Amino acid sequence: MGSRLTEEQADFVAAVRDFAKRECGTREQRDALTGGGREAHHPGLYGRLAALGWLGVCLPEEYGGSGGGLADACLFLEETSYGMVPAGGFITTVIAAKAYEKFGTERQRQEVLSGVVRGEVLSIAMSEPGAGSDVGALRCRARREEDGTWVVDGQKTWISNAHCARHILLVARTGEDKHGGLTMFHLPAGTPGVEIRRIDTMGGREVNDVFLTGVRLPADAVVGRVDDGWRQLMAGLNHERLFLAANMLGLARRAFDDTVSYVREREQFGRPVGSFQALRHRIADLATEIECTRLLVREVALDCDARPDRLFPREASMAKLKATETAKRAALEGMQMMGGYGYTTEFDMERHLRAAVVSTVYGGTSEIQRDVIGKTYGL
Q: Report pTM.
A: 0.94
Whether residue 372 sits in one domain with residue 253: yes
Q: Tell me if 1 is assigned to some domain.
A: no
Whether residue 210 sits in one domain with residue 148: yes
Whether residue 295 sits in one domain with residue 207: no
Confidence tier at 204 by pLDDT (50, 70, 90)? confident
Interval 341-367: pLDDT, tens: 999 998 999 999 999 999 999 999 999
Whether residue 222 sits in one domain with residue 147: yes
Whether residue 199 sits in one domain with residue 325: no
Whether residue 344 sits in one domain with residue 284: yes
Give the mean model confidence (pLDDT) for residues 74-95: 97
From 192, 226, 260, the end of a domain falls on 226
pLDDT at residue number 2: 45
- 220 pLDDT above the threshold of 90: yes
Confidence tier at 3 by pLDDT (50, 70, 90)? low
User: CATH number of the domain that 266 lies in?
Assistant: 1.20.140.10
Give the mean model confidence (pLDDT) for residues 167-193: 95
Q: Tell me if 246 is assigned to some domain.
A: yes
How many residues does the structure list for the chain?
379
Structural domain boundaries enclosing 30: 7-120
Report the domain count for the chain. Answer: 3
Q: Tell me if 211 is assigned to some domain.
A: yes
Task: Give me Rg for the CA atoms of the chain.
Answer: 21
CA distance 121 to 331: 28
Out of 240, 315, 325, 350, the active site residue is: 240
Interval 303-355: pLDDT, tens: 999 999 898 999 999 999 999 999 999 999 999 999 999 999 989 999 999 99
Whether residue 346 sits in one domain with residue 260: yes
Q: Tell me if 89 is assigned to some domain.
A: yes
User: CATH number of the domain that 202 lies in?
Assistant: 2.40.110.10
- 203 pLDDT above the threshold of 90: no
Q: Please say if 333 is a catalytic residue.
A: no
- 112 pLDDT above the threshold of 70: yes
Q: Tell me if 2 is assigned to some domain.
A: no
The residues near 200 (Cβ < 8 Å, ≥ 6 apart) are none
- 22 pLDDT above the threshold of 60: yes
Region at 158 (left for phi over 0; alpha for psi -120 to 50; beta for the rest)? left
Q: Tell me if 338 is assigned to some domain.
A: yes
Q: pLDDT above 70 covers what percent of the chain?
A: 99
From 226, 241, 262, the end of a domain falls on 226
How many alpha carbons fall within 13 Å on the CB side of residue 207? 18
